[in-house]
Amino acid sequence: MSSRPVQHIHGQYIQNKKEYIYYQSLGTDLNLETYISFSDILIGDYFTNKTSAGMINAMNKNSINKKGPGIVKIVGNYMEKMK
């Protein structure tokens, strides 16, 4: 699909290996020789964000816990490195 590595903040694309996340697998056959798995990006991210992330974020909203960088900062830092 691309001649260079593709960076994704929620996981990674895996070539020629079928992966299972929560007993489910998503991917695409590009041709007879190439399979791209994106299970951890779509399945893992969806279930994590819809279930445990909400509870964890609610529990972390207090003065004791360190506040981590937000997605805007993570992506911004990555884009600065790419320049």
Which sequence spans correspond to the domains of the chain?
A: 14-82
Distance between CA atoms of residues 71 and 7, nearest Å? 14
Find where tokens 């190439």 sit: 34
Question: In this predicted structure, what is the pLDDT of residue 47?
Answer: 65
Q: Label residues 28-45 b or e (16+ Cβ within 10 Å = b).
A: eeeeeeeebbbbbbbbbb
Distance between CA atoms of residues 43 and 79, nearest Å? 25
* pTM, two decimal places: 0.46
Question: Consecutive 10-residue runs of the chain (83 residues): their mean pLDDT?
Answer: 67 81 80 82 67 72 72 85 84
